[in-house]
Chains A and B, each alone.
Chain A
């Protein structure tokens, strides 16, 4: 199975900061990489699919980039509602896998 590794596992940042989260796949996944946001006690929400395609209603401060094995989720200016845990997921293989998550906390 394709293993997904996110870094860092957690980070502390302030409102207005630029934040980047990386996701590395154990083998190529093309651009079949999705990003989710999960707030405490809630279901995950799809933010970005196919590496860089922003879902409807998702603020433009979120962006995704990368292909092959290395991907990045960037939040250009962190807002209070962005403090959450973020997961990457590969959908290249029919046996999907998630990264372990990155928790974004208030500094």
Chain B
């Protein structure tokens, strides 16, 4: 059974870079028709789509984050990553990695989420 697990620092200083990794187990990320992505949730608020990457490496980003965001695949390690530069307190929240099938499928597999706090 596919499992996703986010790892990364729980505390990041303002203006620095947030780096998170999603480790995928129980299946390969290098499979045709699968997309891998990130969703975040500020404390007490709703879900925000961050971006996705296709198994081929094509990326799709939230326009509001695009200038600061990079999502990449590491196929040999079976993981994918998020880097968000110049973070501020508004980037704090729980970050989830997800998987969906087909360009229009729903996110049918989620990691447990990791809490990131941006603070000095």
Chain A interface residues (CB < 8 Å from chain B): 1, 32, 34, 36, 38, 43-46, 48-50, 55, 87, 89, 91-92, 94-101
Contact = CB atoms under 8 A, between A and B. Distances in A.
Contacts, number: 61
B31 to A, nearest CB: 19
Contact of B47 (A1, A92, A101): A101
Please classify the interface of chain A as helix (H, G, I), strand (E, B), loop, or mixed, using the class held by over half of its residues.
loop
Interface residues of B, number: 22
Given A94-B60, A95-B60, A100 B107 contact: no
Interface string B93-120: 0001000100111111011110000000
The 4 nearest A-B residue pairs measured at CB:
A49-B106, A34-B106, A43-B110, A96-B49
Nearest to A101: B46
Contacts of B100: 91
